[in-house]
Amino acid sequence: MDRTELDRLLLEAHDHDDPAALVRYYTIAADECEAVQDIDAACFYLTHAFIFALEAGASETDELNHRLVEYGRA
């Protein structure tokens, strides 16, 4: 997914207050940053995904927390 499309989807998810989409898109953004070794940016996006997952009681919460712990960011 290109960055412009991902940014549009993130804004749309915020506008619609859609926590599942927010978790999904912030996680995708984190994955893309990890792929290019931009760990600070990846952790920024992982933190957002984690917070939205916590608020929604989403099943991804544990995995997102684990990823942050691996980077020493939890």
pLDDT above 90: residue 64: yes
Domain region containing 43: 3-71
Sign of CA dihedral 4, 10, 11, 13: positive
Convert the pLDDT of each residue in 2-49 to its tens digit.
999 999 999 999 999 999 999 999 999 999 999 999 999 999 999 999
Provide the number of structural domains found in the chain. Answer: 1
Q: Which two tokens stand for residue 28?
A: 């995708």
Q: pLDDT grade, residue 58 (50/70/90)?
A: very high
Is 74 strand, coil or helix? coil
pLDDT above 90: residue 74: no
Q: How many residues does the chain have?
A: 74
Quickly list H helices, 3-60.
Answer: 3-15, 19-35, 39-56
pLDDT at position 1 is: 83
How many whole angstroms separate alpha carbon 51 and alpha carbon 38? 20
